[in-house]
């Protein structure tokens, strides 16, 4: 629900960002640690209460610390290896935190917790083989992302994806790629989109390389023809025989080929032009994507 200043337009526009500051980090980490007991099926310690002569299970903190240290070594810790939020000016890896969010999302299971009655209290935890709790965890994490202006989303697939505003990539385009008969082209497009949505900046370079690979493979879509004739047929289909559009699509295909050859996208020789601004990757990706998305609608 919107607050007063939001409802009445009294609040300044929220800054959108991919950068997780220490306050955001602390909020997200607290949400993860709040659900730590929902990982007890992975980190179970069998305990015995001597006074009541009762067996019960408790959370294996040491096992948890060891496992996370091996699984996500870059996650911020104190000198005792406890997982904590960094303070201002301390160095940290924000993508390790996103890894931790995914680890929790992919492993939480439903539990019940209750204290035994009596003077000597201890908590009983019962585990269930279900994960309805994921939905509440997902909702809390995504609320933090939204309220802090972080352009990330914890998806139903239990992975964190970055949100790209004003992108031509839509659900309909992704579905259209599923109709591509040529398996190699389809696989390259799927990989390119997955990398494009990945939060790590390094994945953006890989996403551009993959989608250019998809473009080159698309040019040979008609296997019974050589590459030149195949790409001619692709463009003729797109243009429906209209000469003006044939010229336009030829120009665009040639421009994309030139970009792929001149810039450090598919080739990495020293004479290639480096992509010096990470924001250019989204431009390159979306330009190539738009052409491919149109072309696949005319495959026959």
Q: What is the pLDDT of residues 234-244, one digit of tens each?
A: 999 999 999 99
Q: For each successive 10 residues of the chain (300 residues), what is the average pLDDT? A: 72 85 98 95 76 70 95 96 94 97 97 66 75 97 96 97 89 91 94 95 94 95 92 95 96 96 89 92 95 91
d(CA 76, CA 23): 14
Q: What is the pLDDT of residues 121-170, one digit of tens each?
A: 556 778 888 999 999 999 999 999 999 999 999 999 999 999 998 888 88
What pLDDT sits at residue 168? 86
The closest alpha carbon to 210, from 229, 199, 197, 222, belongs to 197
What pLDDT sits at residue 44? 87
Q: What is the pLDDT of residues 252-265, one digit of tens each?
A: 999 999 999 999 99
Other residues' Cβ atoms within 10 Å of the Cβ of residue 99:
19
Q: Where are the alpha helices (DSSP H) in 36-182?
A: 61-71, 94-107, 133-148, 171-177
What pLDDT sits at residue 58? 80
- Enumerate residues 6+ apart whose C-beta is below 8 A from 28: 20, 97, 101, 141, 144
Domain boundaries, the chain: 4-154, 165-298
């Amino acid at each position: 629900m919107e607050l007063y200043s939001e409802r009445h337009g009294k609040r300044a526009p929220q800054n959108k960002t991919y950068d997780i500051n220490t306050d955001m980090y602390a909020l997200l980490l607290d949400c993860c640690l709040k659900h730590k007991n929902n990982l007890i099926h992975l980190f179970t310690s069998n305990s015995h209460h001597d006074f009541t002569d009762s067996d019960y299970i408790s959370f294996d903190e040491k096992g948890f610390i060891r496992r996370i240290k091996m699984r996500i070594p870059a996650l911020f810790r104190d000198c005792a290896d406890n997982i904590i939020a960094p303070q201002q000016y301390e160095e940290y890896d924000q993508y390790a935190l996103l890894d931790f969010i995914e680890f929790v999302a992919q492993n939480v299971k439903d539990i019940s917790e209750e204290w035994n009655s009596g003077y000597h209290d201890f908590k009983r935890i019962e585990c269930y083989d279900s994960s309805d709790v994921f939905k509440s965890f997902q909702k809390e994490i995504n609320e933090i992302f939204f309220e802090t202006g972080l352009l990330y989303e914890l998806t139903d697939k239990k992975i964190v994806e970055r949100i790209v505003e004003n992108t031509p990539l839509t659900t309909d385009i992704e579905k259209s790629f599923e109709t591509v008969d040529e398996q190699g082209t389809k696989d390259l497009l799927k990989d390119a989109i997955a990398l494009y949505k990945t939060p790590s900046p390094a994945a953006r370079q890989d996403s551009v390389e993959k989608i250019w690979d998809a473009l080159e493979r698309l040019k040979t879509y008609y296997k019974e023809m050589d590459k030149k004739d195949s790409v001619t047929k692709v463009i003729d289909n797109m243009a429906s025989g209209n000469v003006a559009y044939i010229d336009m699509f030829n120009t665009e295909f040639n421009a994309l080929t030139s970009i792929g050859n001149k810039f450090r996208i598919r080739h990495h020789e020293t004479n290639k032009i480096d992509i010096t601004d990470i924001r250019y990757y989204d431009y390159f990706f979306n330009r190539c994507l738009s052409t491919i998305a149109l072309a696949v609608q005319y495959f026959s």
